[in-house]
Structure 1
Amino acid sequence: QVSLKDKENLEPWYLELNPLGVVPTLVHDGKPVIESSIICEYLDDTFPEHSLKPVDTYQRARMRFWMKHVDVKLHPSCGAIQWPMVMRPALMEKSEEEREAILERVVEKPRRERQKRLVKFGLDAPDIADAVRTYRKTILDMEAALTEHRWVVGDEFSLADVCLAPYFQTLHQFAWTALYDHDCPRVTDWFAQVSERASYREGVAVDFPESLVTRLQGEGAAVWQKIEQHLEQKPAA
């Protein structure tokens, strides 16, 4: 495991595996594979006996659309929303000079500049409103897709569902499920089905013991009004 709070992802030994300094990194047969969606496809290609790619080529294209959406839109949005909750408190305990030195080590400039804003402004950073609205738009698009079939791209569980699931774990752990559970019944049912899968329990939920979830939900509930307020704001012209 790599401690993000301690910025182990920026240590030289980790940057040799992942030059971008992000998680996760899969090392298989001594070779590193980076980026979550690429790792998912790599594992599916390497162990095809339990493939999670649709046979239908159109459904496979839709699967990749959702995976790209996660990479380009949802992941940065989730990062913006949870970063002030998870990462900012530890950095605020350090001196300004220490914080600046740590942030200057972030490899990619856009991510580095965003983290500086999130440290300075927390959930009042200009990034947050767009992030919350992107989350909500994703949820509404999923609700529409799930009117047609059980899972996001068809009646079989796919890599699209795999890639989307962790971002709903984030909403659950911070008690922000009001983003969907009051008016998106299909998404609510989708996440309930995902949560019941053994792979989810063993690969995701195991990292969130009840005591941790209780603490995080308390912290998330305390700032929910701010999240909801961002949701109600109109996008800038």
Structure 2
Amino acid sequence: MLELYTHPMSPCAQKVRIVLAEKKLEWIKHHVDLSQKENLRPEYLKLNPLGVVPTLVHDGRPVIESSVICEYLDDAYPNTGLKPTHPYQLANMRLWMKHVDNKLHPSCGALQWPLVMRPALMGKSEAEREALLARIPEKPRRERQRRLVKFGLEAPDVVDAVHVYRQTILDMEAALAQHRWMVSDAFSLADVCLAPYFQTVLQFGWTLMYEDCPRVADWFLRCRGRESYEDSVARDFPPEVQIDLLTKGESAWRTISTHLASSSDSRANA
């Protein structure tokens, strides 16, 4: 039995759902309301001491950390393998996955969190907000969310996040000049792990971030065209949700575009 504790807008959860869909596995969904910090409830922390989504439970045993879960599923269900067999391609796949975990994911959080998660917290008293934030197990994540609560899109994390996104896009454009997908001509976990972070860009209407990178634009279009993406990501964004997110993204675009321009200026002067 496979169970997944998930949230529709979590990129980490999205990539695990894509793997489940690619392998056509049946699973039970447990929704975790991140805006209400259900991920910090004691019963959930027993499953995932980090207090994040997703958590996979396989035959009663929890597996945590999304990239680990993706590889676990690929090992446990080797049909429709999503890892290259060539050692060099495998190493490159894991480098992209590490980049996602260490740099792109925190950057995505800095851009998405103020627009999607912050409003619910701002509806609480300052004491209630602090009590919830104080329960976040990891100090870097706890302090980052405190800054995002206090400053919103004006937090310093947002500037760095836009720069990380832009550099990632440029690096991807170069990689895709060599092969059809991120590490070879075959779809792999590298593509699985990167695609949800472009869903964030798409849902807020910020596609100008990669308009001058045609290979990246084509890559993401092909990712979205896969049945696994439609089943596990796109269906969670009905028209009313899309409109709401685009409205939020439009109001934030001036800030994002300003940081994007400064990123371009920095490269030009380097």
Q: TM over 0.5, yes or no?
A: yes
Aligned equivalents of 1:7, 1:113: Cα separation in 2: 16
Residue of structure 1 equivalent to 2:186? 156
Residue of structure 1 equivalent to 2:74? 44
Q: Look up the SS of the partner of 2:36 in the other structure.
A: coil
1:30-66 Cα distance to aligned partner (Å, 9 max, x none): 1111111111000000000211101111001000000
Residue of structure 1 equivalent to 2:133? 103
Q: Which amino acid aligns with 1:44?
A: D
> Which runs of structure 2 are paired with 1:1-237 in the superposition (5 Å)?
1-181=31-211, 183-233=212-262
Aligned equivalents of 1:218, 1:7: Cα separation in 2: 24
Gapped regions of structure 1 (runs ≥ 5): none
Aligned equivalents of 1:184, 1:70: Cα separation in 2: 19
Aligned equivalents of 2:79, 2:127: Cα separation in 1: 52
Q: CA deviation at 1:201?
A: 0.5
TM-score where L is the length of structure 1: 0.97
Aligned equivalents of 1:232, 1:176: Cα separation in 2: 13
Q: Which amino acid aligns with 1:135?
A: Y
Aligned residues: 234
Q: Which amino acid aligns with 1:218?
A: T
Residue of structure 1 equivalent to 2:7? none
Aligned equivalents of 1:132, 1:204: Cα separation in 2: 23
Using the TM superposition, name which of 204-213 and 132-141 deviates more.
Answer: 204-213
Residue of structure 1 equivalent to 2:24? none
Q: CA deviation at 1:102?
A: 0.9
**CA RMSD in angstroms, aligned pairs only:** 0.9
Q: CA deviation at 1:218?
A: 1.4
Q: Look up the SS of the partner of 1:113 in the other structure.
A: helix
Q: Which amino acid aligns with 1:61?
A: A
Q: Which amino acid aligns with 1:214?
A: I
Q: Look up the SS of the partner of 1:50 in the other structure.
A: coil
TM-score where L is the length of structure 2: 0.85
Q: CA deviation at 1:231?
A: 1.9
Aligned equivalents of 1:42, 1:147: Cα separation in 2: 30
Moved over 6 A (4+): none
Q: Which amino acid aligns with 1:231?
A: L
Q: Which amino acid aligns with 2:50?
A: L
Aligned equivalents of 2:177, 2:262: Cα separation in 1: 28
> Percent identity between the aligned chains?
67
Aligned equivalents of 2:106, 2:197: Cα separation in 1: 11
Aligned equivalents of 1:109, 1:6: Cα separation in 2: 19
Aligned equivalents of 2:64, 2:85: Cα separation in 1: 25
Q: CA deviation at 1:233?
A: 2.8
Q: CA deviation at 1:232?
A: 2.5
